[in-house]
């Protein structure tokens, strides 16, 4: 496929929100969208079970086609070129096999069947750890209200006029992967005409001798700021013009990023790093961000991915 935005669809509310997000992203990037529904006898989406009951294979396939078509219709492509794709395979396998050449992969935070528990189960881990394109998990609140509640009839946050004021947030640590994440985040911010907020987390500790921590605080902050400025210089040297705000946070990476995500429209992290963001996808940082961030989370996999 030619630079399409690949979306995992299963008929659930979460996957349809992911599809709507992908359509908005496609308009910004002027890309087509491939809406992929993976199914098989090893785990059909509940909606297909309801539709097909005891039907034979052909009827199950027809139900899958209908579910995919209806999901696309409800999500409202509105001018976006859409390619429906039905694959009889495990969702993780289908997404991974169709990832090469895609602009990104987009999945929802809740689904049916094998796509269910996309954040905690094998699908997300397989996709995020094995594909070489950015992966976006669409989750989080949909309005600007602090409690995350969406009033009846109110438009999603990303469709509201004030949504562009919210920044794209990216976590960096000086590693090559975080530079790639920074470049990708800068492009996303430029497309949205949104500010870019670059976060470096020191990682809060409880030293045995607090006075030693206090005495070294100034030097620690100075070195952190220098590393942050160096990373920004590398990552944004050839980036599109975008308003950049930087912050050195004293907290652990997951705490800092979740805090910044509260007012963000997109959180971007690198696949692996060092220091505060080491083993981002394999440890608690990625788990906490993907599970609790108040906005969609994009995982960018390597330094070259920022192009």
pLDDT score of 144 more than 60 = no
pLDDT score of 275 more than 50 = no
DSSP three-state, residue 298: strand
Beta-carbon contacts of residue 235 (< 8 Å; ≥ 6 apart): 172, 178, 179, 180, 182, 183, 186, 306
Q: What is the mean pLDDT of residues 99-103?
A: 92
Element (H or E) spanning 259, and its range?
helix 253-261
pLDDT score of 48 more than 70 = no
First to last CA, the chain: 18
pTM value is 0.80
Which pLDDT score is estimated for 77? 94
The chain-wide mean pLDDT, for the chain, equals 77
Which pLDDT score is estimated for 42? 53
| 256, 226 contact by CB (below 8 A) | no
Which pLDDT score is estimated for 58? 78
> What is the token pair recorded at 92?
């993780």
Give 238-258 pLDDT, tens digit per residue.
666 889 999 888 888 889 999
Least confident among 11-25, 40-54, 158-172: 40-54
Rg of the Cα atoms in the chain: 20
| 139, 297 contact by CB (below 8 A) | yes
Give 254-270 pLDDT, tens digit per residue.
899 999 999 999 999 98
Structural domains of the chain in order of their starting residue, each with its CATH number: 5-138 (3.40.50.620), 157-306 (3.40.50.620)
Which pLDDT score is estimated for 175? 76
Which pLDDT score is estimated for 126? 73
Mapping DSSP onto H, E and C, the string for 265-289 reads: CEEEEECCCCHHHCCCCCCHHHHHH
Element (H or E) spanning 68, and its range?
helix 57-75
Give 225-238 pLDDT, tens digit per residue.
787 887 788 778 76
Beta bridge pairs of residue 249: 201
- Give the whole-number percent of the chain exceeding pLDDT 70: 67
Give 151-202 pLDDT, tens digit per residue.
344 444 444 445 568 999 999 887 777 888 899 999 999 999 999 999 998 8
């Amino acid at each position: 496929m030619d630079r399409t935005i690949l979306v995992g669809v299963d008929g659930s509310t979460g996957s349809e929100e992911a599809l709507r997000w992908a359509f908005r992203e496609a308009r910004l990037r002027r890309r087509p969208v491939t809406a992929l529904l993976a199914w098989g006898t090893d785990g059909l989406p509940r909606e297909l079970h309801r539709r097909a009951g005891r039907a034979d294979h052909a009827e199950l396939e027809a139900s899958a086609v209908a579910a995919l078509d209806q999901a696309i219709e409800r999500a409202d492509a509105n001018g976006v070129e859409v390619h429906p794709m039905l694959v009889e395979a495990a969702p993780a396998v289908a997404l991974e096999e169709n990832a090469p050449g895609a602009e990104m992969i987009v999945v929802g935070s809740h689904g049916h069947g094998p796509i269910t528990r996309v954040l905690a189960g094998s699908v997300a881990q397989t996709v995020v750890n094995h594909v070489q394109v950015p992966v976006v998990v669409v989750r989080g609140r949909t309005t600007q209200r602090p409690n995350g509640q969406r009033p009846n009839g109110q438009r999603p946050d990303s469709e509201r006029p004030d949504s562009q004021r919210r920044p794209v947030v990216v976590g960096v640590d000086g590693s090559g992967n975080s530079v790639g994440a920074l470049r990708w985040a800068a492009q996303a911010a430029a497309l949205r005409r949104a500010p870019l907020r670059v976060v470096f987390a020191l990682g809060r500790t409880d030293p045995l001798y607090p006075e030693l921590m206090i005495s070294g605080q100034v030097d620690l902050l100075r070195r952190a700021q220098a590393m942050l400025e160096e990373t920004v210089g590398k990552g944004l040297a050839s980036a599109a013009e975008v308003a950049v705000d930087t912050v050195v946070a004293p907290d652990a990476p997951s705490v800092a990023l979740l805090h910044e995500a509260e007012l963000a429209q997109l959180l971007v992290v690198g696949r692996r790093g060092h220091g505060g963001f080491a083993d981002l996808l394999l440890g608690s940082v990625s788990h906490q961000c993907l599970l609790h961030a108040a906005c969609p989370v994009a995982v960018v996999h390597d330094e070259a991915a920022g192009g």
